[in-house]
Amino acid sequence: MTRIIAGTSGGRRLLVPSGALTRPTSDRVREALFSRLEHQGWLDGTTVLDLFAGSGALGLEAASRGARSVVLVEQAPAALRALRANVAGLDLAEVRAVPGSVQGFLDTTDSPLGPFDLVLADPPYPEPEPRIARVVEALADRWLTEDALVVVERSTRSPEPTWPTGLQRTDQRRYGETTLWFARTRP
């Protein structure tokens, strides 16, 4: 069972889609990530983009803990149904679900959404590194504020994401099968 860990919606249950490519971030990893983000001031009043959102657990946790606005991007039909049900059930006005592919969203030139202070990207573990590199490159091109943080969640067996000019890796944390990669925009 997946729940919002803390904040205004703390303890509320989330629907989780079933499927081979759906892998919700574990409670342990989410708790560690959000404790870190909250301690470093990355949640209060920030704009958040949750890519490969799945059930929306990461973005909804950010909204529950004080993010000003959250955009959730998801393509898989089962995940999108669960995400929409979770958004509706939590009644968080600052959250918006966007259906479609992550790359399609990032390639949109006429979107009024963004730029974002915090990006949480949790692609399916089998997603090949070149596709992740294209996502991160597109983020760095136009979707980030001057002082933004990007967090990419990958399998510990996956290589480090390729960071484009404009983003610099600042840390990595391992939790069992999961590695979180942190990168900041360069001034």
Average pLDDT across the chain, whole number? 91
- Band of pLDDT at residue 92, cut at 50, 70 and 90: confident
Q: Quick one: CA dihedral 14, 18, 22, 26, positive or negative?
A: positive
Where does residue 113 rank: exposed (0-12), middle (13-18), buried (19+ CB within 10 A)?
middle
Average pLDDT over residues 44-61: 95
Which residues partner with 98 through β-bridges?
73
Structure tokens, 55 = 């059930």
**Res. 60: pLDDT tops 80:** yes
Q: Which domains are present in the chain?
A: 2-16+26-185 (3.40.50.150)
pLDDT at 39: 93
pTM: 0.94
pLDDT at 15: 86
pLDDT at 151: 98
Buried b (16+ CB within 10 A) or exposed e, 155-179: eeebeebebeebbeeeeeeebeebb
pLDDT at 80: 92
- For residues 91 and 183, the model is more confident at 183
Closest to 123 in 3D by CA, of 50, 66, 60, 177: 50
Q: pLDDT tens digits, residue range 167-176? A: 999 999 999 9
- Band of pLDDT at residue 22, cut at 50, 70 and 90: low
How far apart, in whole angstroms, are the C-alpha atoms of residue 166 and residue 122?
20
